[in-house]
Structure 1
Amino acid sequence: MSALFNNYARRSVHLVKGKGTYVYDEQGKPYLDFTSGIAVVSLGHAHPAIVNALKEQSEKLWHISNLFESPEQEQLAQSLLKNTPLSRAFFCNSGAEANEAAIKLARKHTAKHVIITFEQSFHGRTFGAMAATGQEKVKLGFGPMLDTFRTIPFNDVNALEAAIDEDVAAIMLEVIQGEGGVNTVTPAFASKIQELCQAKDILCIVDEVQTGIGRTGTKYAYEHTVLQPDIITLAKGLGGGFPIGAMLGSEKLAESFGPGAHGTTFGGNPLAVAVAQTIVEHVFDETFLLSVQQKSRYLIERLKFSLPANLFEILGEGLLIGIKCKDDVTSIIKLAEDQGLLIVQAGPNVIRLLPPLTVTEKEIDEAVELLTTVMLVPSE
């Protein structure tokens, strides 16, 4: 009997090491990792620069708490904020924590309590982030939710306009709903959100936990839209596997998060910041981002060439790609794993591809070949 709670539907594979885009089980079998730990391993497994950053910092300082000044946090904040409409950063440990901070800041700054979120969204599993999430399966069994979230259909302009009143503090969205099916915000919907936020003095919160840090081929996914967020939240790819989250906010919000307003024991600790700074320096390089865009185009072209358009729809942006299928994809996930390819679902009928941003075209070719083999296998 396991000593662990059974709250994960774990796969039977026991992975023991990784290098680049490959991971290996205890028998030495290689797998192409097109999950990246669910959009986390930005630069692949055991990237030398990250390993060195962690080793060097581990020999100097692990933890001092946020009672003391941190020039390293200041440097990372400046790297994340550069060329954005934002000017302040708060560091924490995860995406859910970053979203909790965003929710608290929006309510405190506006003195209003309603936050509009969207069906099929995912913002985390803490009580506030769970209440914000637009998927009932996440909420089952936990009793009444916080009732100050107003969840409406995604990309529905009429529903959005009808949901706005004087109690609305913020509109909170993912530009691409990763967990909810790789659903992308439409240009018209993004424009309406921006228009309403400006006209009604409503804050715009963009959850970039999965889409940020180069995943869509730009530093942040909101750059693909007209949105000018007041707050964005980050995690996953920011740490490359080391736990760190961040909330970035505009200058007008600074006074609302003064001393004692919010905090964390481990957030922005020296180890996490050293790793994140290394990742940001690599990923935010313009040449690197262009390479992500190029590999995205290549992956999408290969998928469209290999998979019949009448059976499959290709979704997403950058290296957050969905394949929408006619039927449930659970069996495909298992078949791919057996063949040495790790992929993940995004809802019942969407396969999500999340390779490291360092994936090569050769590895893309291998993955598409394996995927095509298991997706086009004749039914018995």
Structure 2
Amino acid sequence: MYSRNLTRVALRAGKKGGASIRRVSAVASHSLPEAPSTRYTSVTHPEDPASVPEPVKALLAKADAYLLPVYARPPFVLTHGKGAYVWDTQDRKYLDFCAGIAVNALGHADEGVAKVLAAEAAKLLHTSNAFHHKWSAKLAELVVTLTQQEGGLGWAPGTAPSPSGAKLFFSNSGTEANEGALKIARKVGKARWAAQHGKAWDDAANDKSEIVCFENSFHGRSMGALSVTINAKYQKPFAPLIPGVKVGTFNDTRQVDSLVTDKTCAVIIEPIQGEGGIHFANEDFLRALRKRCDETGAVLIYDEIQCGLYRTGKLWAHSALPVECHPDVVTMAKPLANGYPIGAVLMRDNIAEVMTAGTHGTTFGGSPLACALGFHVLSRVSEKTFVTQIEETGAYLSARLSQLPKWFPDTLQPGVRGTGLILGLGFKNPDHPGQLVKMARERGVLVLTAGKDAVRFVPSLNIGREEVDLAVDVLESCVGALGTA
């Protein structure tokens, strides 16, 4: 299993003095509860209509009047945050274990982020991509250098940094990054077909345009990204979607050869499905995809928008895997600028070489402010002490969560899904995840659902143990109440 492979690699690193031995000893030295908490059975943040003050009702009514009703949001209004906490207009405090859906890597109102934001906004807020500015190249260099040093995109860990080997394109979001990656892969496919057949890339016979994706995937909501986001709830209202998309079964190695053919230009997959339920792509499956893409000339895209940039305790979720499992392209976004909109497509040079002036673009993507913030955030979260903290806290959170299926076997599926600070608990009743999210919120903890049967935990990367204990204590109380309902 891919998840086991991550553990094996971490343990090997630990034997050489790396972080994982500190992880294990840190968890072992911190005793775990012997019984589930029942301290949070009472509702402290009620959401019933009678408890909503009139000023809040007025704000909610204004939202109903003027905003497109595409979000189902609880009846309170957030005003500010600090660290792992946010407050609403009633001055109620919430522990944010969502982190803006895996976005706020450094938490809320981080002083370093605020300083960069103020300083750069006073210099150059926006230039468009008609001109150079200093921050986009600096951030791109940092991403490539870290990938070479820590492993990914075909490099083994410890590779000496080099100015060649990969390129970046900056966008405004993860969805845009995936759109860009698919668009680039289409052009690569046409170029490779033309080279193979000795014809022009726009020859009418050029059919290398199919895209392969997988069940339970989530790659975004725009038409191209939506076409590879396999969820009928999201797709059906907007059909017909883009043609030429084939859907495979996640982790089914047997179907890879028939799924990926000479007509395939791109295969897009999440190494860890986030929205789909916190599921790992296993190592054998990814190795088979890599091999088949090499055989057919297809571009292998890893969507690491939610699982990348140290959320697993590694730079990339695939950094712990052998290079024969690595992709040609990685898309990223969520934590890169701690909440300021930015996304990026990282690609090998042999992919980037087909893109020339005018073949892709964006007005706002890669702005001076976004890239300055991205450089600041990535510089901090990539520090060894910070990464060690992610590993230790992730191990502790996983250890705490692992007790719940043992205590509540009739309610929860066995085990904990995920690694690092992207974790999930599976429920036997598909109605329970949504109910638990509401129950936890009414007790001051914000968590998310994932897929059809799970609750997801993607807190800020600098979350502390006290916050972990509070979150899990609330969860234990809520799961216990679910079991007796």
List per-residue Cα deviations over 1:43-67 (Å, max 9, x = no partner).
1011111111101101111011101
Query: Helix, strand or coil for the counterpart of 1:237?
Result: coil
1:87 maps onto 2:166 in alignment: yes
Q: How does 1:322-337 map to 2 (within 5 A)?
A: 322-327=424-429, 328=431, 329-337=433-441
Counterparts of 1:182 and 1:254, CA distance in 2: 31
- By how many angstroms is 1:287 displaced? 2.2
Aligned-residue Cα RMSD (Å) equals: 1.3
For the 8 Å contact 2:97–2:446, the answer to whether it is kept is: yes
Q: Distance in 2 between matches of 1:2 and 1:281?
A: 42
Q: Deviations over 1:203-245 (max 9, x none)?
A: 1100011111111111111113332211111111112110001
Which amino acid in structure 1 is aligned with residue 337 of structure 2?
Answer: G
Counterpart of 1:321 in structure 2 is 423
Superposed, 1:210-359 pairs within 5 Å as: 210-226=306-322, 227-308=325-406, 310=409, 311-312=412-413, 313-327=415-429, 328=431, 329-359=433-463
Residue 92 of structure 2: aligned partner:
29
The match for 2:104 among 41, 61, 67 is: 41
For the 8 Å contact 1:319–1:353, the answer to whether it is kept is yes
Name structure 1 gaps, 5 residues minimum: none
Aligned to 1:158: 254
Out of 251, 272, 277, the position equivalent to 1:181 is: 277
Structure 2 contact 212–245 (Cα < 8 Å) conserved: yes
Q: What is the DSSP-based 3-state SS (H/G/I as helix, E as strand, rest coil) of the residue aligned with 1:209?
A: coil
Conserved in 1, the CA contact under 8 Å of 2:260 and 2:293? no
Question: Following TM superposition, by how much is the alpha carbon of 1:376 offset from its aligned partner in structure 2, in angstroms?
Answer: 1.3
Counterpart residue type for residue 350 of structure 2: K
Query: 2:88 corresponds to which letter in structure 1?
Result: D
Instruction: Name the SS for the 1:123 alignment partner.
Output: coil
Letter in 2 for 1:157: T
Contact 2:276 2:452 in 1 (8 A): no
**Which letter maps to 2:73?**
R
Deviations 1:140-173 (A, max 9, x none): 2112111211111100112222212110112110
Q: Return the alpha-carbon distance in structure 1 between the equivalents of residues 356 and 133 of structure 2.
A: 17
Deviation sequence 1:349-377 (CA, Å, 0-9, x none): 20000110000011101111011100111
For 1:51 and 1:182, the matched residues in 2 are separated by 32
Q: Which moved more, 1:219-228 or 1:39-48?
A: 219-228
Superposition deviation, residue 27 in structure 1: 1.1
Q: Distance in 2 between matches of 1:196 and 1:214?
A: 28
Partner of 1:379: 484
Decide which of 120, 131, 137 is 2:233's aligned counterpart: 137
C-alpha contact 1:230 1:250 (8 A) present in aligned 2: yes
Q: Does 1:4 align with 2:102?
A: no
Q: 1:197–1:204: 8 Å Cα contact kept in structure 2?
A: yes
Superposition deviation, residue 307 in structure 1: 3.8
Q: Percent identity?
A: 36
Q: Which residue of 2 aligns with 1:115?
A: 211
Write the letter of the residue equivalent to 1:148.
Answer: G
Equivalent-residue separation in structure 1 for 2:385 and 2:212 (angstroms) = 37
**1:171-210 alignment, distance < 5 Å:** 171-210=267-306
Distance 2:245 2:318 in 1: 22
C-alpha displacement of 1:340: 0.4
1:146 aligns with 2:242: yes
Say if 2:443 and 2:474, in contact at 8 Å, map to a contact too.
yes
State the match for 2:114 in structure 1: 51
Match for residue 61 of structure 1 among 120, 124, 130:
124
Comparing 247-256 and 48-57, the one that deviates more: 247-256
- Equivalent AA in structure 1 for residue 235 of structure 2: K
Equivalent residue letter for 2:339: G
Higher mean alpha-carbon deviation, 309-318 vs 240-249, is at 309-318
Rounded Cα–Cα distance in structure 2 between residues aligned with 1:71 and 1:163: 43
Q: How many residues align?
A: 380
| Amino acid in structure 1 at the alignment position of 2:400 | R
What TM-score, normalized by structure 1, do the two folds share? 0.97
Deviation at 1:180, TM superposition (A): 0.6
Q: For residue 199 of structure 2, what is the aligned residue in structure 1?
A: none
SS of the residue corresponding to residue 108 of structure 2 reads coil
What secondary structure sits across from 2:65 in the alignment? coil
Greater fraction of residues in helix:
2
Tell me the residue number matched to 2:135: 72
Amino acid at match of 1:95: G
Say which SS state the counterpart of residue 268 (structure 1) adopts. Answer: coil
Structure 2 counterpart of 1:341, one-letter code: V
Find the residue that maps to 1:370 and give its secondary structure. Answer: helix
Give the alignment's TM-score, normalised by structure 2: 0.76
Q: How many angstroms apart in 1 are the aligned matches of 2:290 and 2:235? A: 29
Which amino acid in 2 is paired with 1:78?
Answer: E
For the residue of structure 2 that corresponds to 1:262, the secondary structure is coil
Q: Distance in 2 between matches of 1:51 and 1:10?
A: 27
Find the structure with the greater CA-based Rg.
2
